[in-house]
């Protein structure tokens, strides 16, 4: 018995530990709070440890991110139920289409030059991503930051690929709008050279 646990610990160190940055990034964007994200990752890791045997032949990253996601939603639900925190407009499972309205106003935003010139600092962009409603936020983060394929996202969220695509498109559209608004509000938020945006 002790041996099984040893083996599991071994597998955990090989397969899961290298993914903790991924897990934390995802949790951090979902929860929008550093310590909650830590709790979520810790819980997800312990779950992953217990079930690491079931991982055989599967892709570890998607599997772990899925557990992180479950932990996040469980936490979120507790928060909603206990009403300890108001959770803004993050209504669960909202119809993506119901959120959309514009498109025509997007016309004037369709200038690549403006986006390039008015590039914004990392922290500001992080805040923008975190401002997205949860169902768009998670899709965007999985794609752009965790570098998941559409199929991986579909599998780990349980959404059809078509939904993944439409949520991603919608998330990007919202982000682009915020990006431009921010650029307009703070005209020299950045001097314009991409090189200066690297963060350590």
Does residue 186 touch another protein according to CB under 8 A?
no
For residues 148-167, which are near another protein according to CB under 8 A? 149-150, 158, 165
Does residue 58 touch another protein according to CB under 8 A?
no
What is the C-alpha to C-alpha distance for residues 8 and 11, in angstroms, rounded to an integer? 5
Residue whose CB is less far from another protein, 85 or 88? 85
Compute CA distances 184 → 74, 109, 153, whole Å.
38, 11, 33
What is the C-alpha to C-alpha distance for residues 138 and 22, in angstroms, rounded to an integer? 13
Does residue 45 touch another protein according to CB under 8 A?
yes
Q: Which residue has the tokens 């996601």?
A: 69
Task: Choose which of 59, 88, 92, 102 interacts with another protein (CB under 8 A).
Answer: 92
Rounded least distance, CB 80 to another protein, Å: 10
Task: Choose which of 15, 99, 115, 189 interacts with another protein (CB under 8 A).
Answer: 115
Does residue 175 touch another protein according to CB under 8 A?
yes
Q: Residue 147: what are its φ and ψ, rounded to 5°?
A: 60, 40
User: Can you state the angle between helices 122-131 and 20-31, rounded to 10 degrees?
Assistant: 60
For residues 118-147, which are near another protein according to CB under 8 A? 119, 121-122, 125-126, 129, 143-146
Task: Choose which of 79, 87, 99, 189 interacts with another protein (CB under 8 A).
Answer: 79
Secondary element (H or E) of residue 36:
helix 34-50
What is the C-alpha to C-alpha distance for residues 148 and 33, in angstroms, rounded to an integer? 22
Does residue 55 touch another protein according to CB under 8 A?
no
């Amino acid at each position: 018995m002790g041996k099984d646990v040893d083996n599991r610990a071994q597998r955990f160190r090989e397969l899961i530990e290298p993914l903790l940055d991924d897990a934390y990034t995802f949790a951090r964007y979902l929860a929008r709070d550093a310590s909650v994200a830590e709790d979520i990752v810790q819980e997800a890791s312990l779950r992953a440890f217990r079930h690491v045997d079931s991982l055989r032949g599967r892709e570890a990253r998607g599997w772990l991110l899925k557990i992180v996601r479950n932990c996040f939603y469980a936490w979120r639900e507790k928060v909603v139920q206990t009403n300890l925190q108001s959770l803004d407009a993050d209504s669960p499972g909202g119809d993506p289409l119901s959120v959309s309205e514009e498109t025509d106003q997007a016309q004037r935003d369709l200038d690549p030059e403006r986006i390039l010139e008015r590039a914004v600092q990392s922290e500001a962009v992080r805040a923008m991503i975190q401002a997205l409603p949860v169902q768009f936020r998670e899709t965007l983060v999985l794609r752009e930051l965790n570098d998941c394929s559409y199929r991986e996202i579909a599998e780990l969220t349980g959404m059809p690929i078509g939904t993944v695509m439409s949520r991603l498109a919608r998330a990007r559209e919202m982000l682009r709008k915020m990006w431009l608004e921010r650029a307009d509000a703070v005209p020299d938020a950045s001097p314009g050279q991409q090189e200066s945006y690297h963060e350590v």
